[in-house]
Amino acid sequence: MSLYLLFYRLLLKTLEIIPYKALFIGGKFLAFIFCLLPNNQRKISLANLKHAFPYKTKEDIDILLRDSLFHSIMTFLESGLVWGGNDKSNKDSFLELRNFESVEKSLKLGKGVLLFTPHLGNIEVLINHLGETTTCTIPYTKPKNKYLDQIITESRNSSGVSMVNTDTSGIKKILLELKAGNVVAIASDQVPKKSSGILSTFFEQECYSMTLLPKLQNKTNCSAHLMYCERKTNGRGFCLHFKDKIELSADVQSGVDKMNYEFEKCIMNIPGQYSWEYKKFKRTGSGHIY
């Protein structure tokens, strides 16, 4: 076994055995440090927050920045929880479901269910739940680190989720799964490759956005539902939200605009939990903010 892979496994095992509330306290401390020291995560998050909320005061932006850094750090610290061998996130006292019955109702129609989410809370908790309760496929872009890729792949496969590449063969597999009446889950708020998206708006700012969702719904007539993960306060666990069925529109531009609008609504419920450290506004005229 590679020393790098061994290091990652030891790190995951360490994070797995630390009590979750202790991780929560550690996350608060690390967020304080990240707010003080110069780092790319802080720089990009601050640029995004100022761009998305130009009307907010410096004090309000600073509060959102601290919250965002804390929740991003928690997503890392929860790696042992979601990728380790002893996943506590599925315990009734730790995981709360809201309106999952709406998804189950759509599944009974037999036309497939397309679940989409922004990077809100910890999406790995969502993935684990879907792997345990549905026949679920997700598109997956491999990280550059091959050892991290191995750990993620092993964990997601063990949870019951199937992963496909984000290429032509992967899209064909996704279409087949939807036509078979199964679930496809996509974190569709990331900036797509050139020629794989169109310009839309996100918090009233120009944003290059993924077109895959409305195209999949148009081709398969599947049901589409927004979902997102909310991290509870004081280390009490997670709440998984599932919205009622949404029609994204037969027109791709309108469908993408609708997708971003739905993202905005759920993000505004818990704006500090969104992953603002992504360069969300690149590939637009606003790319200079980074």
- Across the 290 residues of the chain, what is the mean pLDDT of every consecutive 10-residue run? 82 92 94 94 97 97 97 96 67 86 97 97 95 95 86 88 93 97 97 93 97 96 98 93 94 97 98 97 94
Residues 6 or more apart whose Cβ sits within 8 Å of residue 6: none
**Distance, CA of 30 to CA of 118 (rounded, Å):** 24
Phi and psi at residue 282, in whole multiples of 5°?
-70, 170
Element (H, E) at 138: strand 136-140
Q: Which domain holds residue 105?
A: 3-289
The residue type at 254: S
Q: Give the pLDDT of residue 92.
A: 61
Number of domains observed in the structure of the chain: 1
Q: Give the pLDDT of residue 91.
A: 59
Report how far apart, in Å, the C-alpha atoms of 140 and of each of 19, 152, 184, 247 are.
30, 10, 12, 24
Burial class (CB in 10 A: 0-12, 13-18, 19+), 101: exposed
- What tokens does 204 get? 């009233």
Q: Give the pLDDT of residue 148.
A: 85
- What tokens does 209 get? 């956005």
Q: Give the pLDDT of residue 273.
A: 98
Q: Give the pLDDT of residue 144.
A: 85
Helices 252-269 and 212-220: angle between axes, nearest 10 degrees = 120
The pTM for the full model equals 0.94
